[in-house]
Amino acid sequence: MHKPELFKKLILVMCVTGGLTACQQNKDETSDVAALPQQPTAEEARAYVKNAEVTLARDYEIQGQTAWVQANFVTHDTNALVAKMSEEATKTGVALAMGAKKFNGLKLDYDTRRKLEKLKSGLTLPAPEDEQLNAELARITSNLDATYAKGCTENKECYNLGQLSDVMSESDDPQKQLEAWQNWRKVSPQMRKDYQKMVEIANKGSQELGFKDTGALWRSKYDMPADEFSGEMDRVWEQVKPLYTSLQCHVRAKLNEKYGDDIVSKSGPIPAHLLGNMWAQSWGNIYDDVAPKSTVPTTDLTARLKAKQFSEVEMVRTAENFFKSLGFEPLPDTFWSRSLFVEPRDRAVQCHASAWDINETDYRIKMCIKKNAEDFVTIHHELGHNFYQRAYNLKQPLLYRESANDGFHEAIGDTIALSINDNYLKEIGMIDKVSDSAGDLPYLMKMALDKIAFVPFGLLVDKWRWGVFNGEISADEYNKGWWELREKYQGVKSPLMRSESDFDPGAKYHVPGNTPYSRYFLAHILQFQFHRELCKISGNEGPLHRCSIYGNKEAGKKLIAMLEMGSSRPWQEALKTMTGSDKLDASAILDYFAPLKTWLDKENKGRECGWEVASK
């Protein structure tokens, strides 16, 4: 505790939340200290939790509205408003977390203990109890977010991420792709100093809460010891790795054929700018270069959307109808009047797609929709968040109003999206007939280029941050550590020499945005587990990749029951509610992509699969 006045404010906050029954508001600051209870009771713990929920609910709506305005009107003033709101929210969160610590070791009922643990681990970046550091952390996080949104360098050179991404996905000229890749990474070096300071402050705050570092705090949220969670991630990755290695081997060989040995080697990591995506996290845009030969045309969903003259709103309506077909109630009218669907021309906005629950009746998405297949799928994903939010908001107290773990939240919309296949598209009139089985390999390749290619990326982003937080990746080796992990897990390398004057992790939104990334890895495992089980409930007897649960109320009933649990029980129990097992299991992925794996292994005969990571 660095300042007496701060300590007094923290005591007052805890008094307001019912944590300290003997608090007295005397002019003498030492009287506040003397008022601390020496032997907290179970009754005090229950009162603390009850009043903490009241405190958190009090400002929930205005915090959401303030963040919404800033995301839709990125200006100096809105950044300042969010920074101030973030500072106050963090201060309250830290006070609640510190107050919750005093009930450690006390024998309590299940709900009280679980809610206290949630209070302690509820902050993504906990500030220390020092007011100045709290304010600095709020300023840094707001600036990092705004820097990414604006896309400008310190020299006022500005780049449009959407336009650069279009070059990456549409151009067939490797030099133009390289230029686009490099230009977006000119924005992030200015983040590096702030990011380093942010890590120092957040670690101090995490340690004050009793965690080794901020990475340990993040991993503590998964209903198991932090180190065990890391091991669980690695275990599941090992299940997927043989399929990924086969895919990488084939993609590398085809790109070598296209560009030659001077650009793509036959045995090493693939240059990151050639995979059709700004971060090489999904490879669907190079499908034409690597696709299996087939006389059966695959469904071009982008072309069908254009042929049907779908508007952005109609794309969202279609996604909502999928959830309604499962038994979900329609979204409120305010969703349609308050969401952002189209990028405005008159102002800077954060176009990164996101779903919002402002209060128990106000749900929105923010997205600069493009009329293509990728965004059609993304809309289903974002609405999955909204329907999940409403399910637990209507059933659970405030501290349980979140998904079983953050991977569940990401998985729900993607589970629905696995049903966006020809059977579904025919059902909604998007296509006239379902292609025969000869089109399965091209379809599975498209899916693998997005889903399987992503898995190691989903793993390594937080591995990098965990290493940064615990010091294994030092501040003077941020970039080196990043590319070592990219090569180790993805078999992808930087197309240019990089140095520590660069900050390539900052070119990915979730790093400056401080969004934990393990959720996306978990989601890519869970969605296939969920899909396999929901398809069983639906009576599907065909290949897993041809199953669509659209219109099946029994599958919807099973799904809704899990969503309504929120985080009231450990995620393992929620998983068991849906699948009958409490273990993460990537075998559903192997089932889904089994025909493709057989084909890839045949294609890869005679090729040197795998890649060597250069010694550092």
Task: Write down the catalytic residue from 250, 409, 510, 524.
Answer: 510
Give the CA-trace dihedral at 94, 406, 401, 392, to 10 degrees. Answer: 180
User: Which of 84-88, 336-340, 577-581 has the least mean pLDDT?
Assistant: 84-88
Please enumerate in sequence order all residues whose Cβ is within 8 A of that of 231, keeping only pairs 6 or more positions apart, or say none. Answer: none
Over residues 236-265, the mean pLDDT reads 97
Task: Write down the catalytic residue from 131, 352, 427, 477.
Answer: 352
**Confidence label for 38 from pLDDT (cuts 50, 70 and 90):** low
pTM of the predicted model, to two decimals? 0.86
Q: What is the reported pLDDT for 482?
A: 98
Does residue 24 contact residue 14 with C-beta atoms inside 8 Å?
no
**Confidence label for 614 from pLDDT (cuts 50, 70 and 90):** low
User: Which of 129-133, 200-204, 364-368, 603-607 has the least mean pLDDT?
Assistant: 129-133
**Confidence label for 27 from pLDDT (cuts 50, 70 and 90):** very low
* SS3 label, residue 502: coil
Q: What is the reported pLDDT for 277?
A: 96
Is 353 labeled as catalytic in the residue annotation? Answer: yes
pLDDT above 60 for 33: no
**Confidence label for 83 from pLDDT (cuts 50, 70 and 90):** confident
* Residue 174 CA, distance from chain mean position: 29
Taking CA atoms, 39 is separated from 42, 104, 106, 559, 605, in Å, by 10, 11, 10, 44, 70
* Per-residue model confidence as pLDDT tens digits over 511-566: 999 999 999 999 999 999 999 999 999 999 899 999 999 999 999 999 999 999 99
Please enumerate in sequence order all residues whose Cβ is within 8 A of that of 69, keeping only pairs 6 or more positions apart, or say none. Answer: 78, 81
Is 510 labeled as catalytic in the residue annotation? Answer: yes
Burial class (CB in 10 A: 0-12, 13-18, 19+), 16: middle
Does residue 325 contact residue 551 with C-beta atoms inside 8 Å?
yes
Six-digit token string for 158: 């500005």
* Per-residue model confidence as pLDDT tens digits over 551-562: 999 999 999 999
Task: Write down the catalytic residue from 291, 353, 475, 594.
Answer: 353
pLDDT above 80 for 22: no
pLDDT above 50 for 300: yes
Does residue 10 contact residue 95 with C-beta atoms inside 8 Å?
yes
Please enumerate in sequence order all residues whose Cβ is within 8 A of that of 74, keeping only pairs 6 or more positions apart, or say none. Answer: 146, 149, 150, 347, 348, 349, 350
| Mean pLDDT for the chain overall | 90
**Confidence label for 127 from pLDDT (cuts 50, 70 and 90):** confident
Is 507 labeled as catalytic in the residue annotation? Answer: no
Task: Write down the catalytic residue from 44, 129, 320, 382.
Answer: 382
Q: What is the reported pLDDT for 149?
A: 87
Over residues 572-579, the mean pLDDT reads 95
Q: What is the reported pLDDT for 436?
A: 77
Does residue 244 contact residue 233 with C-beta atoms inside 8 Å?
no
- Helix H or strand E encompassing 359: strand 354-359
Phi, psi dihedral angles at 53 (to 5 degrees): -65, -35
**Integer Cα distance of 508 and 478 in angstroms:** 14
Q: What is the reported pLDDT for 153?
A: 93
Task: Write down the catalytic residue from 222, 520, 550, 592.
Answer: 520
Over residues 271-298, the mean pLDDT reads 92
Is 410 labeled as catalytic in the residue annotation? Answer: yes
Over residues 264-289, the mean pLDDT reads 96
- Kindly list the structural domains of the chain, giving each domain's residue range(s) and its CATH number in brackets, ordered by start: 4-147 (no CATH), 230-603 (1.10.1370.30)
Is 352 labeled as catalytic in the residue annotation? Answer: yes
* Per-residue model confidence as pLDDT tens digits over 387-422: 999 999 999 999 999 999 999 998 999 999 999 999
Q: 388-414 b/e with 16+ CB inside 10 Å = b?
A: bbbbbbeebebbbbbbbbbbbbbbbbb
Task: Write down the catalytic residue from 250, 381, 409, 524.
Answer: 381
pLDDT above 80 for 32: no
Task: Write down the catalytic residue from 44, 129, 320, 410.
Answer: 410
Is 382 labeled as catalytic in the residue annotation? Answer: yes
* Per-residue model confidence as pLDDT tens digits over 472-508: 999 999 999 999 999 999 999 999 999 999 999 999 9
The C-alpha angle 124, 127, 131, rounded to 5 degrees, equals 150
* Per-residue model confidence as pLDDT tens digits over 450-469: 999 999 999 999 999 999 99
**Integer Cα distance of 302 and 299 in angstroms:** 9
Percent of the chain with pLDDT strictly greater than 90: 77
Q: Using alpha carbons, select from 417, 508, 522, 406 the residue that is nearest to residue 459.
A: 522
Task: Write down the catalytic residue from 273, 380, 385, 524.
Answer: 385
